[in-house]
Structure formats: structure tokens, C-alpha cells
Structure 1
Amino acid sequence: MKFVALIWGLGLLQIPGSSGNKEIKPQTDVCTHTVSCTECISSHPNCAWCSAKNFTHGGEQEASRCATRLELLRRGCDEEHLINPQGSVNVQQDTPLSDNAEQETVTQLAPQRVLVRLRPGERTKFQVRFKRAEGYPIDLYYLMDLSYSMKDDLENVKKLGSDIHAALHGVTKSVRIGFGSFVDKTVLPYVSTVSSKLQNPCPSRTERCQPPFSYRHVLSLTSNLTLFQLRVSAENISGNLDAPEGGLDAMLQAAVCTNHIGWRNVTRLLVFASDDVFHTAGDGKLGGIYLPSDGRCHLNENGEYDRSHIYDYPSVGHLAQVLSAANIQPIFAVTSSFISTYQELSELIPKSVVGELKEDSSNVVNLISEAYNNLSSTVNLEHLHLPRGFHISYDSHCPNSSTYGQPRGQCSGVRINQLVDFQVTLWMDKTMCKHELQSFRLRVLGFSEELRVDVEPLCDCDCGDEEAFSDYCSKGLGNYSCGVCSCSEGHRGKNCECRPDEDDTEAGCWGEGSLPCSGRGRCECGHCLCNIHVRGKLCDCDDASCERHEGHLCGGISRGVCNCGTCECSSNYTGSACSCSGDTSACTANGEVCSGHGRCVCNKCDCDTGYFNRLCSECPGCQTPCKKHRNCTECKAFGTGPLSDKCSLFCEHTNVTVIQASESGVGESGEWCQEKGTDSLLTFRVLKEEGTLVYIVVMDKQEIADQTQNLILGLVLGIVFIGLLFIVAYRIAVETFDRKEYKRFQQERMNEEWNKTNNPLYQSATTTVLNPNFNQD
């Protein structure tokens, strides 16, 4: 079952564009190879068509009338002749939401009807609101397993009718309750077909049980508690052979037999009580039953499912579809041993919940009450009968959180009279242009109200300039529409000026090159018809050969346009691909560019050394005297560093004197600074600062380098000397230790000889045996 759920989830994830949040960016190269207005506006939502006469010229094909709106305006098409239909949402019915269910007509879902006009590929959004009204009616059907193991449970259920009614009466004044039961199919191997066992399936002959049955509808939904008590009290336990029960058969019949059960268009709850697992599709083959369930009602006059021996058990998917279509919310009340099994089942059945049932069903009232609260506080908005080629996603704005681009809307923890808002995003494929008005429905699971959505595809052009046998088309040789001539049979050309039997004159299509129309088009009627993005009398101008920036030709229409292979940038952009913005707003703060520590390049700050962030305003330690005067010291003294090419500009008030190490005592104020320069270490001291004048002394680089070398050499020799001392000390310690150990070893040998000679208990061997076969030779 988990595998099925995984496949179903992956299927939803594969819906094109299911993210739902991405906007379609304007592009210049999406409107190509379309020869009519209808094909143009169906090809891409950003494509428009220019219907002006003589819009194309200089070798341009009529297909070039199809382009983005900005491109057509740039090329001179006026708004009057610009065909660019836009999608729209028209709310046709929007009854206000109700606060309680005491009104004659209760409205919990709004709007109720919407007309959406939609272009292929275009994403259109509309809002859906839901508010659960207080006191909404409830129909509860109690479906109980009457196999022998549920004997003690039945006795408790006989006493709980009024308690169940009272628990739900606290939520709404309109509560109806019904009852049904099930065991299993009445064929082997599910029940014993021995005649005595068919009459009394109890394990003990002294105990009376009713004959087994598949499903029996006992009591239709009623508000008469006395009748409920009487009918349930008359029920008796039954029995079967195997552990799984026929519960799925019973659930399907209870869902489809609407007239027998008496379901109203209100909240429908089906409580399924059992202490074991269930049979599913395919299990019927064990009893010779191979016909799949037909999903229809088959209750006889006694309310029994009399086709159980003909139709197999329903599959989980079939049952989930039937329950969803009937708007029934199952509550699985099962014992602890099978909680995990029914939780997996619940994941595949929308708007269902599982509760733990005690062995004797004594907690069924609390279980139903808690389950109903869980179901009613969760709002699931889903679509029904979505036509093929349409796609939909939901943004859920819940009281405590929000989700975006989901395959269905869902909010949890919703209280009575708390408004929940969903934003529905709808788009369709190009193939839907062949269809007329399409419709589907939206609903909240567990409620009967629905929102009807009618979708009108926008695929046709209404140019308003149709002329039959127009004079524009060579005086009646074709029909004119949307700026284009549709030539009569036997004629061709832009204005139907050519006949097929006439020889084409290619003289006007040749230039200096070796191919007609520069190899970028075809010659027709003595004129060049250029390929897409190519124009000119001889197709010598290519408007698609310019450099690209971020995937767009000349950075996109807003930055520049391509004219014969060269980008013509707008006034605020520069560069070969119009990639560099001349704007300095992103570099400027408080009237200062890059905080005075950098320069603005393409509307981005290029910071000086040490400075960083967007406006070059941060530099750790840059305000200390050493950091502050480091660059001027280096450029003034040695002509190197980041300010070397602009030293006179930035360091005109700094006086730097280069001194030798022997002169290091010059001046009395200031600490010596050591800063990393371009190629060596800088050692300098700020003597004094008088206003904007700064006096600095700096040691010569070469002398500092020599001193550094001497210092390093001294350090190396010192390390070598210390290493040798350590090795000598180590060898002396090892030699001393070895001598002590050898002396102790000699003492041990002496003690061993003394013990052998003077030990009074020592005796030598008293018997010697020679081997007669031993040959000394």
C-alpha cells in the first residue's frame, strides 16, 4: 500500500509546472515559425500579432508579425493593430458565506461559479474562500464487524446509541444515525458451508449465532434513538473461518446505496468498527470469484448484499474513489493490533482517520468525537473531472501557516467560523485550443457544496479587418485577414502577385555573394523571403547574431536590441551585449559613491583594498593609523601599492621620508607600524599630524630585508643548536639507563649460581638409562 501511495505522489509531482509560483519571463525568441495569428497566440502566452498592412518589408516574412508585444511596438506596430488577448477571471456567482447552519440555505464555499478565459501556457489565478458554519448537520452510519471475536463489542454498542447521539449533538442539533453489519462472503474458504455451520457458525453448539452474511443494512439514518436501540439490540453475533473480514465490500455498498442508507447532502461519517484486517481485490479467487466489483448497489429487499458470491472484493483504489465521490469520511475504529495496517489504508483514502478501539468497544463514543473533530478541523480543497490538458496548483493561506504550489489545498486546525483562503492557479496546454468551453469542479472534502469553473480557451484572433477578395491581395486574388493575404488557388506571394506557372525571376535576389538571398532565405516572385530574425532586400541583415547576456539577446528588450549583428543599447546601458548598467543608484548612499572607498562599475562597487560589502563601507582596522596611512606610505616612498597610479591625487598631503635603521630614533612620538606591502613588509612611523598634513618616516625596504634575513639565519642556527643539545642529552640518558640495567642483569646471574650450589633440596639424577639401539658412531 505504501508503494501505491508513493507512485501516486510521484505522479502528482510530474505535473508540468506544478510549482505554481514561477512567472513566465518575457523572451524575444519564443515566437517563431508561426504563419497565422491563431497559431501565434497559441504558441506562447507572451506572443502577439501585428495586423497592420505593410508591416513587413525588406524581405521579412509574414511570420515576423508574431513577436513579443515590446518587440512589435519597437518595430512600429501601433496599439490598434496589436492582437494580444489576455486571460481573465469573471466571478459569475458569489453568495456570501454563512455563519451558522440555521439559515435556509447554508453557504460555506465561495464563489460558486467562475468563468476563466485562458490562453495556452498562461497562468491565471483566482481566489476560493471557505468557512465552516456552526451547527452543520451530520449523518453517521455505524458499520460493525459481527464476526465471533466482536461478541463483547456488540453488547456495548447496543447500549451506546444515545451516547453517540449526545456526543455529536454538542456539535450540531441535526444528527442522524444508522447501522449496518458485515461478516464475509458466504462461500469457502471464508465461511464453513456445512449445513449445520451455516445455520450456527458459533464455535460451541450450545451457543446461538446468526447465519453468516456478507453485508446487511440494518437501519437507515434516523434521528429516532429509540428505534436505533431496538434495531441494534435485536442483532446477534455471527462467525467465519479466516481472520480477514469482508469490510471493504460493506463499505462500498454503504457508499453507493444512497437511497437505502438515506444519506443527505451534509457531513457524512462512516464509522468502521473491526478487530481484524480486511480482504481486498484478488482474494475472491480463493473462492472461485473472479469478476471485479462493479461499484453498484446490490441490496435485496432484506437489505443484504446478495451478489457477494459473484463479485470480488473491491480494491483500495476503487473504494477510495467511491468514498470520495460520495463525499463520505471514514472513521476506522480498530483494535491496537491492527492500527498500523489501517493507518496505511487511511493514507490512501482521502479525508479518513484511524482511532484505537478498546477490546470491548467501550471507548467508541470518545473515539468518534475525537475523530470527528480531527476531520472537521482539516480543510481539503480538491478538483473533480479536470479535463485532460489542464493543470492546476494551490496556494493555501491557513490561519497558522501557508503552503504554495501544492497538488491540492489543505489547512489544519481550522475552527468553526474561521475563514480559509486558497489561491488556485490554472493553466492549459496548446492542445486545448481544439476544444470549446471546458468545465470542472472544486469542492472541500466532506461537504456537498461545489464551485463550478468554466474555462474558455483564447486561441482565435478577432482582428476586425476581414475582407473577401480584397483589393489589397492583387485586386481580388485572395482574402485579407489580420494583415495577411490568403491567396486563391493558383496564386502565391505576399500579395498573391505570382502564379505557379510563371517562371520565377531571381535577378532581384542576387547580390555580391554566391547564393541568392545571401543563403538566408528563398527567392519568390523575384523577391527574397528571409528566414526568421533576418531581413533586408537581400537578407543581409541578421538580427539574431548579437552577443547575449544572461541568455538574452543584447540583455533583453529592456536593455537593447540587435540590429544587423550589433547591439543598440538603451541610454542607460553599455557594453557589447548591453550588460553594463550606467545607473549608479545601487552604489550611492547619502550622496556618496561607494562610501568614497571604491568606484562604481556596472552599478556595482569595485572596492579599494581592505574594504568590502555592497557599498565598500566596511574595513576591519582601516581607521587605525597604521592601516590608514599604509597605502600612501608605500606609494610615496616606493611608488608601489594600490594607490601607485593615483598617489598624487589621494596622498598630496602626506610627507614621507625614507630612513636607515640607524636613524630609527628620529622623532619621539608615535609607535612603529609593520604592515604588509605589495612585495615586502613596510616599517614606518607617523611622526605627527597637523590638520590635513601628515609626516611619516619609513625604513628602507632593502635594509629591512637584510635585517630580516639575518634574523631568520639566527633563528635557524639557534634551532639547530638546541636540537643538538637535545640529542646529546637524550643519548647520555639512554647510556646511563643501559649501564644500570646491565649491572642488575649480572647480579641476577650470580644469585642463580649460588642457589644451584647451596640449595639443600637439590638432587641430581640417580638413574641413567641407555637406549640399546643408540649408536654413538
Structure 2
Amino acid sequence: MMTLSMTLVFLVALSKGESEQDIKISSLGKAAARRDPDLSLLGSCQPAPSCRQCILSHPSCAWCKQLNFTTVGEAAERRCALREELLARGCPPEELEEPHGKPEVLQNKPLSQGTHGEGATQLAPQRIRVTLRPGEPQQFGVHFLRAKGYPVDLYYLMDLSYSMKDDLEQVRSLGQALLTRLKNVTGSVRIGFGSFVDKTVLPFVSTVPSKLRHPCPSRLERCQPPFSFHHVLPLTEDAKAFEREVGRQNVSGNLDSPEGGFDAILQAALCQEQIGWKNVSRLLVFTSDDTFHTAGDGKLGGIFMPSDGRCHLDGNGLYSRSPDFDYPSVGQVAQALSAANIQPIFAVTSTILPLYQELSKLIPKSVVGELSKDSSNVLQLIMDAYNSLSSTVTLEHSSLPAGVYISYDSQCGGPEKRVGEAGDRRQCNDVRINQMVNFSVTLQATQCLPEPHLLRFKVLGFTEELTVELHTVCDCNCGDSKQHAPHCSGGQGHLQCGVCSCVPGRLGQLCECPEAELSSPDLESGCRGPNGTGPLCSGKGRCQCGRCSCSGQSSGRLCECDDASCERHKGILCGGFGRCQCGVCHCHANHTGRACECSGDTDNCASPDGGLCSGHGHCKCNRCHCLDGYYGALCDQCSGCKTSCERHRDCAECGAFGTGPLAANCKVACVNVTVILDSGPVLDDNWCKERTLDNQLFFFLVNTAGDRTVLQVRPQEKKDHTMDIVLGCVGGIVVVGVVLVLAYRLSVEIYDRREYKRFEKERLQLNWNQDNNPLYRSAITTTVNPRFQAESSLS
């Protein structure tokens, strides 16, 4: 039997495992959604030999399919580059092959309230086709409008173990009041009833025949035999039928504290036809005053077969296969409730409330409420839980195919209600009736899908779904494919996306060369430098038909140019603001420099007064280059500014303290100077630091207003040395104390050593030893075996 503490540890561990998986998926999706498109274009697209490989290499890559776009000997890989680069090299826009993904709305019924909640359209759109290019995120919106009066099915699942005897009396009169309260907020309500105890095997219940017939302590009270789960009343609008069937129920009994509630929840979720669930808001009210058995506990009763996840109700509504299958796990229960779109309300007593709160974290769209000892507050508890569940909108999706990631953002009705309380961007809380919430969903694929995939979205607790058809675009649709195309030397090859694929026996960019002539020395001479010297094609390509077919970023008649060897700025070729051609950067407009690192903009040089570099420098490469004596990002500081401290020092001293060289005629010498003496801290380095004739330190700040100068003087604050004196005294006392202790310890050590030496000296002078001492007795006793001695003498 699983104890409460063991169950809590199990639930917390499972909760952490799911959270890590959610965090991993969520973080991958959000990183894709936050990708900066400008940064992804810089130095990311690399040459590729075919259009398909080009568009799969990076989402920024484009392919030029124009015939004869590459020069003689230039590799076909050069057709793959950034769109801007291909256009700059002369590729017409209509010849660019640059497929992109996109979302397409296929069905979008407008949101509506319906009649009393029935027939309402709360989720839009209903069907979308999303085409993904690997590496390129696509985004679409999902809208939800909470309708008024949406119908409700409520199934009341009650623990009928003996400890719930008082609670049963309250539930017997619950039906009419519950239907009345719910009809005030919804158009249609149906209610059903089921009960549970535990598996009818040892050690969960007593198998003594008399106890199986009457498990309650007193023989005089009404009691029914134990059972696992009993479906009593299908969902109905008849409140009297609910009260009548509940009135016929009696409590039962079992041996251990945990109950078989998981068996009951699983059967109530799986047996939808028997329970009578409709496509409305489904609520399952679970009431109990104790813990629950979970997977593995069945082994105590000799049950080893795991729960098969199927409905096993017999004609009487009893879970007939309970002794055959183990209890379901938390994961099975959560999955079954989510698949059936059932929202559980756990109404439990205070002693086990923390356990069910941990359980609720593992079951989507579930709430927990504290039940009084006699269930007298169950009606208000159900109403509060229903209001909480119906006002929480959580968007969920089905399983994702491999290589596809998802992220969410939400608009919950205003900037102040952007996301859920826990920061969950697929959830909105406190949603009112007729309030619309909007979700932004971002999908990104990192690989091609072998076939289209259907991804389903739904709002937990509601039956409407959004179906998303996922497709991936992983190939080019150039539209120029021809077998034996005339462009390829009169039909010697097949044309696809501007590139000739030669038939067997032909080689060359246009299939112009027979393979038999490949090794001709005369042809190879055309692939070498002057006088036939140097390696073939500069070692950067192959010689075919007397011409060089360059590889990679090489170009030129002899592949002598390397279009990847230009200067780099911040690790990026040509700074990302130019095109590398034969080792030289050809910069875009408004950029200069060997690596196009110099921008023609002046934004970073603009001074607050509207000028450039504060008038004390010139702007080059969008940076200020200051004149001699000035420094700072805007040349707004100068190394000679501190000379004003020397010019105004004497006026500051005589005006503030009446001392110094100008003390006798301060008013005449400093006629245009106003001295203000104040106190406070010195805030920055603009303050001048000086000393008076009597060595008193002071600071002053020079402010010029027209032809007058204002000196703000602040003498150095005198520190209160009281604390320093106190700390010094305490420190001195401590030091003296430590010295005294060490001195005492040293004197004791010296005395002990002297006494020991004296003792050793006296011991050596003794005339008596141990052997002569009559009081001494040896600690060793010698025993002689007479038999052993006799045998020795005979031998």
C-alpha cells in the first residue's frame, strides 16, 4: 500500500519530468520565433550544386535559373546565394527560384454565440494549410470567443467508503439545487452519478464471506458489499431521478486508507456511451476524504497485469474486470481525461488537499477545492470550480512530427492581461463571457516531412477543433525541365533549373565535350598558365574540354580568383555590406573600405546641438575623430578643461574661506565671480579638487552664465571618527588578550618540559627496578601441558 508521502514524491518527480520536456520544446520554438531575419542573412547562405540542396541549406538562399548565368568555367554552385547578391550579379527577378512557406486559411466560420450556447462557434479558423520551408518560421492566428450559456454535462463521482457516511446524506439532496444553480449560467445542464470503493481482493477489502456481504462495523446500519466502480445514473436533466438513485445508495467499507478512485475516473472517461457524454463542456466532480491507489499497488493483491485503457462496464454498470487489471497510472488518467475533453473537479477534505493539488498540476484543466467534513459546502465548491474552469482558456495541440517545433503568444484582452498567471503563453485567465482572446502560433521545421501531417488544436474543455495541414517545401519548381534540351549542346543533356545534366559520354558545363577527349594534352594546355606552366586550373578546379570548371567560390578562366578571400569585418565577409569578387570587396551604396566596414551614415556622430562631433572633430565611418585636446564619443570632452580649476582656485578659496593669495582684495580681484558655499557629496570628475593654505581640502564646480562665473564650493566633509576609535579600542583589547593567552600557554609548555626532564633524571638514579620489586607481578602466565612434555620425553 502506497503511503501519502510516497505518493507525493512520485507525483512531484513526474511533474518535474513533464516540465523539463515542455521547457525543452517551448524553448526551441521560441528561439525560432525570435530569430532576427537581418542577422540570419549575414554569411549564412553557402554555395550548393543543385537548387534543391540550395533551398534546404538555409532559408535565406535563392537560386538563379537563368541560362548562361555563370561564366565559362564558373561552378554551378555560384547560382546559390542571397537574393540581393544574385540580383547584383545580374540575375533577373523572374529567374530567381526562392520558394517560401505560407499559411492558408481553408475554413473560417465566423465566431457566433448560437442559441443558449448550442450551435455556437467559439474557435476560428477551423482549418488551415501551413507550408513550411525548413528553417523558416510561419505564423498564424487562432481566435476564441467565450459563448454565453454553453451546455454542461456534470458527472458526480463519489467515494462510498465508510468514512463518507455523513457526506452521502448531503449528496442525496444535491440534484435539484445543483441543476438550478448551473442553469443560471448555462443553457442546458445534465447530471449523472457514479460511486467507487476499492478492488475486492486482499489486502484492499476483507474477503471473509460475512465481511463481503456487510463490511460496515455495525450490523444494524445499512451497508452494501464492496465494489470497485459502479455507474449508477447516466447523464440526465431529471433532478428527481438523480436524487432518487442517490437515495438508494449505501456506504460500504474497505481495509486500507487509499481508495480505488483512479479506476473509477478512468472508466468514467472511457465509457462515454454508457455515461452519456455529449459534445459539450464535460465536468467530473470527484469527492473523497482519502488518498488513492496508483499503478503498482495492485501487486499487493497479486494483480500484475497493467490497466488496458478500455471500458469494462457490465450490464449492471459495475467495473467487472477490476480484479484482473492493476490500478491506472497518473499518466493514463491524465491522458484519458484529456482525450475525452473532461475537466475534473477534485473536492477533497483538508487533510489530503496538498496531495490532490500536486495531482492537479499533472492533469490539464483541473481544479481542487476543499470539502467540508460532511460535504455541506459541495454545491458552492462546484460552482466556484465551474466558474474557474470556464474562465480559463488554454490552447493545446496534438503531437508534433519529428523536426517541427511550436511556440505560442497570446493576447488575452488587453496589454495588462497579456499571458496567463504562470507566464504560459498559450493560456488566458479570467476570460469573461463574450470576450475574445487571440493566440499567435509559430511553427518551424528543421527537416522535410515525408508526408503531410495533420496537427489538431483545441481549447481544453471545449469540443471544437482547428485542423492544421502541415506541408514542407523541399524542392524547386523551376518550370524549365527539358529532356535532351537544345541548350545543352543540341540535346546532349537534360536541363533543370538552368543547369545541364549531361548524358553518358558527355562532359562540360553545356555537355559540349566528349568524354574520350578528356585526357588530351592539347586540351589540358588551355587549363594552365602562360607557357603551359602551373597546376591545372590553379589547383582550384577540374580541366574539362580544355576549360576550367572551378569549384566552390573560385572563378576566372584559370580559377585564379577566390571569391571568399576578401577582407572580413567582425568575422563577416565584406562586413555583410558588399560582394566579394576576385578577392576585392565591391561595397553596397553608402559603404566604403576594404571590408565595406565604413558606413556613410552620420547618426552616431550627431551632437545634441544638431552638429557633428560637437564641432571638435570630423565624422568618418559613422564615428567621431576628435581634434587634438578633445576626446569622447562625440568629442565633447577636452584634456585642457581642467585649467579652469587653476584659474578659479584663488577666488574659490577667498570667497568661501577668506584665505589665500586674494584674501585681501577678493571682491576686486573676483568681481565677476559669485561663490556659493554648500555641503554635500561630490558627484563626478568635473569638480575641481584643491587645498587651502592651511591644507584644508575642498572641491568646487565652475559654472559660466554669460559674463559671470558661479563657483559652487564644497569643503571636504569631516568624518566622525568615533566609530573608528571604538573599533580601534576593541581591536587592541582583542590583540592584547590573544598575546596574553599565547604567553600563558608558552610558559605552561616550558614548565612542563622542565618537570619531565627532572622526572627522567630521577628515574635513572633509582636502585630498584621491576624485577626486585616485591609488589610487582608479571602480567604473563605460562601454562605447561604435562602430556605434551611426556610425549616429548618418550620421543
Q: TM-score when scaled to structure 1? A: 0.78
1:206-221 equivalences in 2 (<5 Å): 206-221=220-235
| Aligned counterpart for 2:35 among listed residues 9, 18, 22 | 22
Contact 2:487-2:510 at 8 Å conserved across structures: yes
- After superposition, what is the alpha-carbon deviation per residue over 1:541-596, rounded to whole angstroms, capped at 9, x for unaligned? 1121223334421121xx22222223232342233322222211443366422443
How far apart, in 2, do the equivalents of 1:299 and 1:428 lie? 44
Aligned position for 1:200 = 214
1:532 corresponds to 2:552? yes
| Aligned counterpart for 2:144 among listed residues 121, 126, 130 | 130
Segment of structure 1 superposing worse, 177-186 or 481-490: 481-490
Q: What percentage of aligned pairs have identical amino acids?
A: 55
The 3-state SS of whatever aligns with 1:592 is: coil
How far apart, in 2, do the equivalents of 1:511 and 1:75 lie? 27
1:101-500 equivalences in 2 (<5 Å): 101-102=115-116, 105-399=119-413, 400-403=416-419, 409-432=426-449, 434-435=450-451, 437-500=452-515
Q: 1:12 to 1:515 in 2, by over 3 A?
A: farther
The 3-state SS of whatever aligns with 1:509 is: coil
| Aligned counterpart for 2:97 among listed residues 83, 97, 102 | 83
Aligned position for 2:755 = none
Paired AA for residue 173 in structure 1: G
Segment of structure 1 superposing worse, 386-395 or 181-190: 386-395
Aligned position for 2:743 = none
Aligned position for 2:749 = none
Contact 2:116-2:186 at 8 Å conserved across structures: no
The 3-state SS of whatever aligns with 1:424 is: strand
How many angstroms does 1:523 deviate by? Answer: 3.0
Q: 1:607 to 1:420 in 2, by over 3 A?
A: farther
1:553 corresponds to 2:573? yes
Contact 1:26-1:46 at 8 Å conserved across structures: yes
Q: 1:524 to 1:430 in 2, by over 3 A?
A: farther
Contact 1:379-1:445 at 8 Å conserved across structures: yes
Aligned position for 1:740 = none
Paired AA for residue 437 in structure 2: V
Q: 1:47 to 1:690 in 2, by over 3 A?
A: closer
Q: 1:609 to 1:277 in 2, by over 3 A?
A: farther
1:596 corresponds to 2:615? yes
How far apart, in 1, do the equivalents of 2:502 and 2:396 lie? 50
How far apart, in 2, do the equivalents of 1:321 and 1:668 lie? 88
Q: 1:613 to 1:101 in 2, by over 3 A?
A: farther
1:96 corresponds to 2:110? yes
Q: 1:690 to 1:36 in 2, by over 3 A?
A: closer
Q: TM-score when scaled to structure 2? A: 0.76
How far apart, in 1, do the equivalents of 2:541 and 2:175 lie? 85
Contact 2:297-2:326 at 8 Å conserved across structures: yes
Q: 1:580 to 1:95 in 2, by over 3 A?
A: same
1:641-652 equivalences in 2 (<5 Å): none
How many angstroms does 1:668 deviate by? Answer: 6.8
How far apart, in 1, do the equivalents of 2:345 and 2:505 lie? 73
Contact 1:572-1:583 at 8 Å conserved across structures: yes
How many angstroms does 1:456 deviate by? Answer: 2.6
Segment of structure 1 superposing worse, 189-198 or 507-516: 507-516
Contact 1:137-1:266 at 8 Å conserved across structures: yes
Q: CA RMSD in A?
A: 3.5
The 3-state SS of whatever aligns with 2:104 is: strand
How far apart, in 2, do the equivalents of 1:609 and 1:313 lie? 85
How many angstroms does 1:177 deviate by? Answer: 0.5
| Aligned counterpart for 1:572 among listed residues 549, 572, 590 | 590
- After superposition, what is the alpha-carbon deviation per residue over 1:616-667, rounded to whole angstroms, capped at 9, x for unaligned? 77x8xx9xxx959849999xxxxxxxxxxxxxxxxxxxxxxxxx99x99996
Q: 1:319 to 1:490 in 2, by over 3 A?
A: farther
How many angstroms does 1:94 deviate by? Answer: 1.4
How many angstroms does 1:615 deviate by? Answer: 6.0
How many angstroms does 1:482 deviate by? Answer: 0.8
Contact 1:32-1:532 at 8 Å conserved across structures: no
Q: 1:339 to 1:690 in 2, by over 3 A?
A: closer
How far apart, in 2, do the equivalents of 1:305 and 1:564 lie? 81
Q: 1:671 to 1:26 in 2, by over 3 A?
A: same
Contact 1:510-1:518 at 8 Å conserved across structures: yes
Q: 1:127 to 1:181 in 2, by over 3 A?
A: same
How far apart, in 2, do the equivalents of 1:406 and 1:48 lie? 38
Aligned position for 1:43 = 57
How many angstroms does 1:236 deviate by? Answer: 0.6
- After superposition, what is the alpha-carbon deviation per residue over 1:106-153, rounded to whole angstroms, capped at 9, x for unaligned? 100011111222211111111111011000000000001111111111
How far apart, in 1, do the equivalents of 2:266 and 2:88 lie? 64
Q: 1:344 to 1:22 in 2, by over 3 A?
A: same
Paired AA for residue 30 in structure 2: S
How far apart, in 1, do the equivalents of 2:117 and 2:377 lie? 34
Paired AA for residue 348 in structure 2: V
Contact 1:143-1:270 at 8 Å conserved across structures: yes
Contact 1:97-1:131 at 8 Å conserved across structures: yes
Q: 1:690 to 1:62 in 2, by over 3 A?
A: closer
The 3-state SS of whatever aligns with 2:345 is: strand
The 3-state SS of whatever aligns with 2:273 is: helix
Q: 1:578 to 1:155 in 2, by over 3 A?
A: same
Contact 1:393-1:407 at 8 Å conserved across structures: no
Contact 2:73-2:509 at 8 Å conserved across structures: no
The 3-state SS of whatever aligns with 1:259 is: helix
Q: 1:577 to 1:13 in 2, by over 3 A?
A: farther
Aligned position for 1:2 = 12
How far apart, in 2, do the equivalents of 1:117 and 1:50 lie? 22
How many angstroms does 1:34 deviate by? Answer: 2.6
How far apart, in 1, do the equivalents of 2:326 and 2:541 lie? 67
Aligned position for 1:587 = 605
Paired AA for residue 455 in structure 2: F
How many angstroms does 1:11 deviate by? Answer: 1.6
Aligned position for 1:510 = 528
Paired AA for residue 22 in structure 2: L
